């Protein structure tokens, strides 16, 4: 627990002192417009939209990690649990000013869930009522890609996906994150 509170404190501090703020509605609308545009471009093929969002996130994550590390000036995490706390309490704090709850660890400590009490990306959003978006579209899927891209840069191959979303009428918004493996001394991959 101490790592969690420590991470929280770091996150708060960084949010207050090191982060340039930008209007939330601008971000929300920008992201929302991107999603809506993708939905239109892919003609309602939401699987494809999810994939594209993830890919965009991946490319963001690979860059964002540098900024994150430069700002936070924190060292290597001892284990995946600590990584999870850093993601939640520092990463999400400084980029979105939220701190999703880390929960539902598997016994091998390789899988956890992030439960979002709030999600600035999805403010104002109501999914299209075409009868499919509710079942197929993961509106905030970009976040999965961001995590994957960022962690890959620090030698962690992970897989992330949403399992529920309040936009779909679920009780909570939950992302499942699984550690695939630690990457040892490999060349950084090409951008996708």
Partner 1 sequence: MSYYFTILSPTDVPLFNIAFGTSKSGGDGIARFRFPDTAQYMNQFIIHSSLDMVEEAQWMNGNMYLKHIDTYPPASAYISAFLTPSGARFLLLHQPPHAAGPNANAGGGGGGGGIGGSSSILGGSFAAGSSAARASASSIAANPTSPQTEEAVRQFMAEVYENYVKTVMNPFYRQGMEIRSAVFRSRVTAAGRKWL
Q: Any idea how long the chain is?
A: 192
CB-wise, 4 or 44, nearer to partner 1? 44
**Cβ of residue 9: shortest distance to partner 1, in angstroms?**
34
The answer to whether the CB of 92 falls within 8 A of the CB of 184 is: no
Task: Tell me the closest approach of the beta carbon of residue 135 to partner 1, in angstroms.
Answer: 15
Q: Nearer Cβ to partner 1, position 49 or 177?
A: 49
Query: Which residue, 56 or 127, has its beta carbon nearer to partner 1?
Result: 127
Token pair recorded at residue 37: 């545009």
Q: Is 83 helix (H, G, I), strand (E, B) or coil?
A: helix
Q: How far is the CB of 22 from partner 1 (least distance, A)?
A: 16
CB of 63 to partner 1, least distance (A): 24
3-state SS string for 14-51 = HHHHCCCCCCHHHHHHHHHHHHHHHHHHCCCCHHHHHH
Q: Smaller CB distance to partner 1: residue 94 or 133?
A: 133
**Which residues form the interface with partner 1 (CB under 8 A)?**
25, 28-29, 31-33, 35-36, 39, 123-129
Which residues face 116 on adjacent strands?
Answer: 173
């Amino acid at each position: 627990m101490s790592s969690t509170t420590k991470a929280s404190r770091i996150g708060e501090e960084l949010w207050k002192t090191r982060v340039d703020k930008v209007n939330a509605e601008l971000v929300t609308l920008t992201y929302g417009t991107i999603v809506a545009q993708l939905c239109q471009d892919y003609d309602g093929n939401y699987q494809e939209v999810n994939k594209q969002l993830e890919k965009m996130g991946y490319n963001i994550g690979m860059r964002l990690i540098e900024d994150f590390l430069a700002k936070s000036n924190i060292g290597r995490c001892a284990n995946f649990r600590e990584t999870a706390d850093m993601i939640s309490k520092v990463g999400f704090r400084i980029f979105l000013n939220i701190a999703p709850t880390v929960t539902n660890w598997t016994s091998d400590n390789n899988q956890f869930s992030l439960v979002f009490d709030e999600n600035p990306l999805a403010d104002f959003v109501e999914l299209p009522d075409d009868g499919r978006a509710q079942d197929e579209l993961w509106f905030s899927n970009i976040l999965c890609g961001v995590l994957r891209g960022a962690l890959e840069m620090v030698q962690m191959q992970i897989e992330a996906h949403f399992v529920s979303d309040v936009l779909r009428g679920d009780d909570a918004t939950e992302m499942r994150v699984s550690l695939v493996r630690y990457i040892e001394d490999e060349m950084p991959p090409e951008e996708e």
